[in-house]
Structure 1
């Protein structure tokens, strides 16, 4: 079975959140994707806790949990009363080793590819923004230069208006 048929990219992207400056996924969302119960996923993680340092996985604070819950409404959370664990990209990669099912491996491959794709999109956006800023600077400089040229032309016209007429010099044709 192809991993694309298992979980579409859009589904994975909709389950990635930005918390504490990191892209993370909730334990309940991962359990749903892996088709296991959340408590089973948490049990496996706790049995292998040494594989999950804080930069791989952390528990949300009550405030973070309440903020997240308010974004979705309580109906999505069912009876979950405990703050969820969230997993960074590295933590998600580590999950496949503790869950050790073919579905977990296939879903993890998809998730890691989506994280990579998102990182590339962010990088592309940053470089695009830098290029736009560079163009803005050039346009600003061009505008200033054009304005300067027009100021010089205005000064020349003013000088010419205040000068007395000069006597013409050069070849004069016989005017009879």
Structure 2
């Protein structure tokens, strides 16, 4: 009985010596010199050939692979690439620096490696390049949106912080009731409240009082160090010598003469103002009241009128 005739095996070419790899291709795509590329050794595995055979096939068609299709890595680029876990590890190392193939270079490979397997593999790789490019584009849009959100959050946070600071300052300024009435004889209570208000100013104090003297300076002496105090008065009970003595220990104090005001006001940091029913030097000797001026526009107008009196 005759043995059945065996079909003659197809002749093997150099590009079909190993089974092609069916693994995920995206991890093999790297960004080098601002371009998406795949290394020759990884391409060789994908096409099912040895790296040497793969590069020999490309070399025979070198005119098809200009620099923007294929370029050799530098030592630094190769060292950086080897540190990445997704890079394929070659057995026994290699004598020469690898080549990197761009998307155009991979497209050209289908014209060089003409087997059905090579064509199918080229299609898979090209699809992977497109998928990676789309992913990068989506990430770029996402990152831009995240940057916009971060910017908006920073602006909102700054605005919120400013509002909270203002609220806290107002709360601090109103730890005492917004309105207080002191009756005759409450000298110490009135003095304590006035010195407490003065001590809250962080930058400047403006006092409008037609009758000031050294007793008034005793209250202003409770201000914080470095806070500038300015008095607008119509009286002459405070001498230049009194001002100089005060400034020697509690700088700085300025006194301006004006008859433009009848009532007394205490303004802290150009933002918080109190209307005071008695001169500070007489606070507590007779019944008087202290009221917080809640209208910010009125406070601004008051400060503006002060500038006109100089």
TM-score (norm 1): 0.74
1: CA distance, partners of 2:161 / 2:146: 22
Of the three residues 26, 39, 46, the one matched with 1:13 is 26
- Structure 2 match to 1:61: 74
Contact 2:21 2:47 in 1 (8 A): no
Q: CA deviation at 1:63?
A: 4.3
Q: Check if 1:35 corresponds to 2:38.
A: no
- Structure 2 match to 1:117: 131
Which of the pair has more CA radius of gyration? 2
Ranges in structure 1 where 5+ consecutive residues have no aligned partner: 167-176
More strand by share: 2
- Structure 2 match to 1:90: 104
2: CA distance, partners of 1:67 / 1:20: 12
For residues 25 and 77 of structure 1, do their structure 2 counterparts lie closer, same or farther at Cα, with a shift above 3 Å needed? farther
Deviation string for 1:97-129 (max 9, x for gaps)?
A: 111111111111111111111111111112111
Q: CA deviation at 1:79?
A: 5.2
For residues 77 and 142 of structure 1, do their structure 2 counterparts lie closer, same or farther at Cα, with a shift above 3 Å needed? same
Residues paired across the two proteins, number: 160
Deviation string for 1:24-68 (max 9, x for gaps)?
A: 212222122111232332222122211111011012234444554
More helix by share: 1
1: CA distance, partners of 2:81 / 2:21: 26
1: CA distance, partners of 2:57 / 2:93: 21
1: CA distance, partners of 2:164 / 2:81: 57
- Structure 2 match to 1:169: none
- Structure 1 match to 2:117: 103
Deviation string for 1:102-158 (max 9, x for gaps)?
A: 111111111111111111111111211111121122222222222333344445553
Q: Please state whether the residue corresponding to 1:76 is helix, strand or coil.
A: coil
Ranges in structure 2 where 5+ consecutive residues have no aligned partner: 1-19, 180-196, 198-273, 275-288, 292-310
Contact 2:41 2:90 in 1 (8 A): no
